[in-house]
Amino acid sequence: MNQKRANFILIVDDNPTNLAVLAQMLKDGGYQVRVAISGENALEQVNQTKPVLILLDVMMSGINGFETCRRLKSDPKTSDIPIIFMTALTEQEHKVAGLRLGAVDYVTKPFQEEEVLARIRVHQQNNALLQSLQTRNQDLEEEIDKRERSENLNRKLENCIEVSTAVLSEASDYFQEVQKKVEKSDKLSTIGELVAGVAHEINNPIGCITNNVEFVAEHTQQLLDHIGHYQNILTTNRDSINPADILKIKQHAKTIDLDYITEDVPVLIESMMASGERIQAISQSLRTFARSDTTYKQPYNLHEGLDGTLLILRHRLKGEGDRAETVLTKDYGQLPEINCYPGQINQVFMNILANAIDALNAAASTEPNAAEPEIEITTAATAEQVIITITDNATGMPEDIRAQIFESQFTTKKAGKGTGLGLSIAYQIVTDTHQGSIECQSTLGVGTTFTITLPIE
């Protein structure tokens, strides 16, 4: 089979968030990008069309990055593709193992944009130079055979080596300069929806605790002072308490409004406890949503994933200005736990629900008389699978748009508002990784429904 070549970079990672961040980073850097969510999927894509470079995650479900690299390097058709490993591992033995397999470099998580782009540029230059050197070397060998290693060819070869040394030296200097900037920056990539949602949801309970603790402290001090009056009187008059002392206690109780304090303190404490429980629930939802489980499937309650995602997105469901609050309807059936990768499934829920909210907001801004925004989530189970449907009553999509929504890098949003990878990644997660199905039905003027079907085992 004749293998086609294309000028794109292939990103291989089973973490949808990493794929989205890297893809947007490279697109902003002027590169064409394709993505694969597993080593198997990467081998299939490379067998069809060779990329100019591969960014390959080390720790993946299925075959890991090392095995994927070994297979690529053992195949003559793909052995010349430069591979840069992506990993959070810092052990020297892992780096040595990757380089021995034929990788050209490593980038470490969390990704730093300048470093990633610099390494890609360096290795593209090196690869281009290597191909140029290989071509020139072949030409030189043919000339050497004909002219018996003439002096002219020697001069050309020396010139070629000088050029390559100069290019490598320049690339090395550039990389070192960028590396210094990266070390000084020390910043992490953020996940927009996740951070915004948690920050917004946790702000109110923290504000409640912060505001109430001042009143609790004041009331507590007043109660301690009142108790101090009792102690002074009892210490001074052990045998009997005279009426004047009792009058002082009553006067102090009136001064601090003891009746109000005894009513208010329990209310304040209850409010602070409720806020603490709210923060605890948000923390639990965050842990549930961001579970790191890329190496094996595990039993998972899908309702926990849906509720955790909704909690993170809840601030976007609230009304703002002329936009009405989105009505959320949940019709949950009896679902068994399913064997899956919870973090990836949560990412599917996040992508679909965030898109539904975007569509409802867009409808509200363009159609002032639009119906009250609604999102309905239903779940059901059969003997072998579970079915999740997510429906919105936004404006819907024409058929030509609906037919492309699962394609990589396709988006209807404005530049900078979306990567065009969210639903493509969701499709790969559901169909390739979990052997399920995801479908979209949409009617203009009515709304859109996504139906996700996942096997129980």
* 451 and 324, same domain (yes or no): yes
Residues 80, 135 within the same domain: yes
Q: How far apart (Å, rounded) are the C-alpha atoms in residues 431 and 40?
A: 14
Per-residue burial over 349-383, b if 16 or more Cβ lie within 10 Å, else e, is bbbbbbbbbbbbbebbeeeeebeebbbbbbbebee
Predicted pLDDT of residue 1 = 46
Residue 147 and residue 67 share a domain: yes
Q: Are residues 91 and 160 in the same domain?
A: yes
For residues 281 and 323, membership in a common domain is answered with: no
Whole-angstrom distance, CA of residue 57 vs CA of residue 8: 17
Please tell me whether residues 14 and 38 are part of one structural domain. Answer: yes
258-289 and 302-317 helices, crossing angle to 10°: 120
- 14 shares a domain with 159: yes
d(CA 382, CA 272): 43
Whether residue 203 sits in one domain with residue 158: no
**Residue where one domain finishes, among candidates 259, 289, 319:** 289
- For the chain, the domain total comes to 3
Confidence bin at 188 (pLDDT 50/70/90): very low
Q: Please count the other Cβ atoms lying within 10 Å of the Cβ belonging to residue 395.
A: 19
Indicate whether 61 and 85 sit together in one domain. Answer: yes
Q: Quickly state the pLDDT bin for 447 (edges 50, 70, 90).
A: very high
CATH number, domain with residue 393: 3.30.565.10
Q: CATH number, domain at 181?
A: 3.40.50.2300
> Is 302 in the same domain as 281?
no
Q: What pTM did the predictor assign?
A: 0.49
CA 438 to chain centre: 21
Can you give the pLDDT at residue 203?
62
CA distance 448 to 430: 19
The boundaries of the domain holding residue 251 are: 192-289
Residues 332, 388, single domain; the answer is yes
- Let me know whether 197 and 122 are in one domain: no
Distance CA 51, CA 290 (A): 31
The residue from 185, 214, 243 where one domain ends is 185
pLDDT digits (tens, 9 = 90+) for 134-185: 777 777 776 666 666 556 555 665 666 676 566 556 655 654 554 334 333 3
Q: Which residues contact 218 (CB under 8 A, 6 or more apart)?
A: none
Predicted pLDDT at 302: 94
Predicted confidence at residue 200, as pLDDT, reads 54
Domain boundary among 271, 289, 307: 289
Comparing 250 with 307, the larger pLDDT belongs to: 307
* 18-27, 88-97, 183-192, 357-366: range with lowest mean pLDDT: 183-192
